[in-house]
Structure formats: C-alpha cells, structure tokens
Amino acid sequence: MADPIKGEFKIDIDDKYMNAILSITPPKNGGKPVTEAEVRQDMALKGIRYNVDDAAVKTAVEAGNLSVQIAKGDPPVDGRNGYLVYHFERRSGAQMKADEFGNVDFRDLGLIQNIEQGVVVADIFEETHGSPGRDIRGIEIPQYPGKPAKLSVGSGIALTEDGKHLVTAIAGNLRWSKDHFVVDKEIVVSGDIDLSVGNIDFIGDVIIKGNVNEGFTVKSAGNISIAGNVTSAVLEAQGNIDARLGFVSSKVTAHGNISVNFGENSEIYCDGSIKAQSFIGCTVHCGGPLSVVGGKSVIVGGKYTCLSDIEVNYIGSDAYVRTLIILGNVAVLAEELGELKKKLKEYEGQLQQLELVCTTLQQQKKIAPLTPERDEMLKRSIKAKFGHMGLIKETHERISDIEQEIENTNDLCIKLKRAVFPGVTVRINNSQLVVTTKSGPGTIAVNEDGDVVIR
C-alpha cells in the first residue's frame, strides 16, 4: 500500500507585489490536507496583509484543489496633465470658403479674423494630482502628479485673474502664431492688395505699403493708410483715409477725414474734411472743408458737394469742362425742417388730448375712487404726457439747430486763388452762378442780394 502524501500549497507573488495567487494541491493516499492556518502563516511570512480576500483563502482551502487570487494591490492613479480647450480654430494662412453653389471668391482669403476685446479664446483646465496606490504588503506606491498646462500668452491676449481662461486684451485680428494666439490691433500689408492678400475687412487700422489693385475692397473700423495708388477698388473707413498717391476709378468712403494726392473719375464720400492736390472727373461729397492746394491745385469735371468752405487754385479748364460745385445742404435741411414742423404739430395735438384725459380723470378721482381700469389709464396718460413733452422739447431744439445751420450756410464761400473757367456752375444754397468768362482770383460767395458772385 502506497504511503500517504500530504496536500501542498504555493503562493505566487508578482515582482511588483500587486497580486498573490494561492494554488493548492490535494493530498493523496489519505494524506493530510492543507489547513488555513498553514496558508495564513505563509502569507504572514511573505508580508501579504493588504487587500486580502479572506473568503477566497477559505474557499481554496475547503476545496483543496484550487488556484485563486487571494490579495490584490491598488495601483496608483496618475494625475492628469493640465490642458487648454480653444474656442477658435488654430490655423494660419488662407482659408477660402465656397458658397452654397460651390463658388469660391479668390479675393476673399479669410486671412483676417476680427474679434472684440474680452472674448474668451481658450479655457484652461488645471492638472490633477492623482492618488497613490498600495501593494499587497501595504506599502504605498507613489503616483505621478499631472503637469500644469503649457501656457504661451501672445500679444493682445491676457490671462484672467482666476487663471482659468485666456481672453482678448484688445480688439483686432485674432491669429495663430506658432503655439499661441495673438491679437493684432492693426493690419500691416507689406505690399499690394492683390490675390495674395485678398479683400480686407478689419476691426482696427489698416496700413498698406503698396497699391490697392483693381477689384479689391478694403474696409476698416478704424483708419486706412495707403502708400500707393487705389485703382478701380473700394475703400471704406469709419475713421480717416490717408493715401499718399491717388484714387483712380474707385469708390471711397470715410467717416473721418481724407487726405489724398489726387482723385480721378472716383466717387468720394467724406463726413469730415478732404485735402488733395487735384480732382478730375470725380463725384465728391465733403462734410467739412475741402482743401485742394499744392501741386496743380485744380478741380476739373464732375460734381463736388461741400458743407463747408472750399479752397482751390483753379476750377475748370480752358476746355470748358462741365464742373458743378455745390456749397451747403439747404435742400436736405429744408426737407428735414418741414418734416420736423409737421411732427411738432402732431406731438402738440397729442399732448393736448393727453392733458385733457389727465385733467378729467384727476377730477373724477377727487369725487370718488377710480376703477382699477381708469386708474391704470390715468397712470399711462401721465407717463405718455411727460414723454410727449420730452419729444416736443427735442423737436424744438432740432428745429432751432437747423434754422441756425441754414442761416450759417449763407457765409459759405470758395477761396479761389487763381481762376475759374467757363463750364463751371457754382451753387450756394438756393442761388447759382454759371461762369461764362474766365475769372479770378477772388472769393465766390453769396452777396447781400442773395446772388452768387465772384468778388
């Protein structure tokens, strides 16, 4: 008869002490089985004391023939690195877009991304520290903490006080530069406005060191400065436009002032003053003084409307080119004046009705309490009454301003330093002078009889 063989067990531990596996071999020939005490003793000798699965130990011993995991360590949780979430596409260079029909405007390259001040460009998420782990011996395993987000704050960009956002510090052009956004408060074009640059529509100032070529548009919420010519193009500025050379067959609008060397066959609208050396065949509207001095200092052909004085050497030419000069804006002001007087009459009639309603309801209220509906009517009528009083006051003030402005336009004049030629017509308010002979120098103005004369 064979000798009895005692049951055996083995505990395997990985090299990082994160797992312990108990394997039991059953006895043979009536040998003694493995006991839980023996397993526990060996576990103690091996230092297994953390996250012990007591139930698994008991089950394995009772089964007598099993391999189970009896302890498992907790791995460390590493921290997450900080990171940025951008609200705008990180791109540089042209970004042409197609319309719904698939057509691409090659003059619109999408190089400019206008942005206001205080706009959030990116959200910053902080790093996390993570948490340490522990092996089956109970020894702590350190984690790797996260690293802060890599921040590169470009010009025109600011970090908020709480460190959670990147925002625009100024209004301008938002662009991606290497590894960060920047905001340019002005756009500088080193050469011409052509197909390599495309149209410009910018929230700030635009500086062009070359020409603006045919078919292109430059718009600015600030000022536009051009070193070259503007040819068959469109310029629009909320501020000033300064062109070192000239406007040729172009459409130019400035809500500030305009300074240009010359204008030819162009439409020019300016709320402020205009300074130039010559205009040929242009249509010009100038809200301030029009000064054509230096160089040829000539206005030839076209229509020139100015709401202030004009200073020029020559108007017209020996070729008797038709040239129309209009000083003042009486026609427009008179139309506005008529509308205001009509409104004033309406406001005053409505005010009389409101006063009547208020007086009637207030008298009724002295006799007996008003119903809720009538009380509400009284409140609305009183409010409307004061509103109409304000409108009447504002209308009277505007009427007074217009009447004063019309009166002042009688003093408008053209300072003619050299000569005016036949073919020129000068209108000042409601009077007109048709030049039939070369005259000058002198001043073209309205005399005491209301006639436009050269004196």
Residue 96 above 70 pLDDT?
no
Q: Is 178 left (phi over 0), alpha (psi -120 to 50) or beta?
A: left
DSSP 88: S
Confidence of residue 29 (pLDDT cuts 50, 70, 90): confident
Question: Average pLDDT over the chain, rounded to whole?
Answer: 90
Residue 433: both structure tokens together: 């002078």
Q: Which of 68-82, 236-250, 390-404 has the lowest mean pLDDT?
A: 390-404
Looking at residue 240, what is its pLDDT?
98
Please tell me the distance from the alpha carbon of residue 108 to that of residue 98, in angstroms, as a whole number.
10
- CA pair distance 446, 413, nearest whole angstrom: 8
What is the DSSP annotation of 285-351?
Answer: EESS-EEE-STT-EEEEEEEEESS-EEEEEES-TT---EEEEE--HHHHHHHHHHHHHHHHHHHHHH
Q: What is the pLDDT of residue 111?
A: 75
In eight-state DSSP terms, residue 47 is T
SS3 of residue 108 by DSSP:
coil
Q: Is the pLDDT of residue 442 over 60?
A: yes
- What's the CA gap between 77 and 145, in Å, rounded? 9
Write down the H helix ranges in 368-435. 372-409
The candidate with the shortest Cα–Cα distance to 7, out of 17, 285, 29, is: 29
Residue 356, helix vs strand vs coil: helix
pLDDT of residue 412: 86
Which range is least confidently modeled, 44-48, 220-224, 308-312, 448-452?
Answer: 448-452
Q: Residue 109 — very low, low, confident or very high, per pLDDT cuts 50/70/90? A: low
pLDDT by residue (tens digit) across 285-315? Answer: 999 999 999 888 999 999 999 988 999 999 9
The candidate with the shortest Cα–Cα distance to 266, out of 278, 275, 256, 257, is 278
Tokens of 193: 């406005």
With 90 as the cut, is the pLDDT of residue 44 above it? yes
